[in-house]
Structure 1
Amino acid sequence: MADTGASITEDNIHRLVHGFYDEVRADALLGPVFGREIAPEAWPVHLAKMCDFWSSVLLRTARYDGRPLPPHLRMPDLSDTHFARWLTLFRATADAVFAPADANRVIALAERIGTSFRLSIALHRGEDTMKVGPLPRG
């Protein structure tokens, strides 16, 4: 039986974050959104912050000190279509980086984070949060 978490390392978290955001930036739907929100010169800082975030979530390093939700609340055009595409790209990258059991764990966390963000956005917009559920796997 494989060691749970054996492929969840700082190096692989770096590969996940950088590989994922390479895909995001090239994506027809997400690229323009991220291009609008993150200036080209700010990408190194953003990537480092996302490595810290995932290190904190996956390895409990407590390196991330921030609030990831507020920037998403300020984007009026952010929709379930964006989150679904984000998760599709994230799943593919996680599957490519981690051993299967670890990839499933990382993906499940991303799905929960995505649902939490979608619920918070709906609440912030005054929408019916009862209509927010898990996004289908695509």
Structure 2
Amino acid sequence: MDHSLTAQPPRFDITPHQIDQVVTKFYAKVRADSVLGPVFAAHVPEDGWPAHEAKIASFWRNAILYERSYDGNPMQKHMAARDVHGEHFPHWLALFDTVLAAELQPQTALAFSTLAHRIARGLRMGVEDLRAPVGAPPSL
């Protein structure tokens, strides 16, 4: 069977190398950021950045290119990190969008940003609902 005929096309035009570059540049900004740097430092040891970046790049290659190389549960990870709060997500997205605009063509940056914002919305809702008082309505 010819799998090239059944492979799902990418969500948008981007190469694995471009995804890796975005992830590397983004986490360089995160490590230097006064808000997000300490949160990430609590979960990623200094010598753990290459592995973390590889895992996140794999996540994005799966989400965009359908590589099926990512093995993880982002919702579970973000909910388990008790120092991750809903207000971190807009800041994370602003940094991410800055990197996308600097590294990619406008159309590709917009498509990647749209996907990132959609995923972040779900993660933020999960984190906020977990921390909501018992009986509080879910965030929508």
Q: TM-score range by the shorter chain?
A: 0.7 to 0.9
Cα deviations across residues 118-137 of structure 1 (Å, max 9, x unaligned)? 1111232345323x4xxxxx
Task: Note if 1:27 corresponds to 2:33.
Answer: yes
**TM-score between the two structures when normalised by the length of structure 2:** 0.83
Task: Note if 1:94 corresponds to 2:103.
Answer: no
Point out the more displaced range, 94-103 or 19-28: 94-103
Residue 103 of structure 1 corresponds to which residue in structure 2?
109
- Contact kept, 8 Å, 1:122 with 1:128, in 2: the verdict is no
How far is the alpha carbon of 1:109 from its aligned partner?
A: 0.6
Q: Secondary structure at the match of 2:93?
A: helix
- Contact kept, 8 Å, 1:30 with 1:82, in 2: the verdict is yes
Letter in 2 for 1:98: L
How far is the alpha carbon of 1:96 from its aligned partner?
A: 1.2
Among all aligned residue pairs of Structure 1 and Structure 2, give the percentage whose two residues are the same amino acid: 35
The alignment of Structure 1 onto Structure 2 pairs a total of residues equal to: 127
**TM-score between the two structures when normalised by the length of structure 1:** 0.84
| CA RMSD, Structure 1 to Structure 2 (Å) | 1.6
Which of 43, 55, 63 is the equivalent residue of 1:57? 63
| Larger Rg belongs to | 2
Residue 128 of structure 1 corresponds to which residue in structure 2?
137
Unaligned runs of 5+ in 2: 1-10
Rounded to whole Å, the distance in 2 between the matches of 1:5 and 1:112 is 15
Q: Secondary structure at the match of 1:41?
A: helix
Unaligned runs of 5+ in 1: 133-138
Rounded to whole Å, the distance in 1 between the matches of 2:126 and 2:87 is 16
Task: Note if 1:17 corresponds to 2:18.
Answer: no
Rounded to whole Å, the distance in 2 between the matches of 1:5 and 1:118 is 24
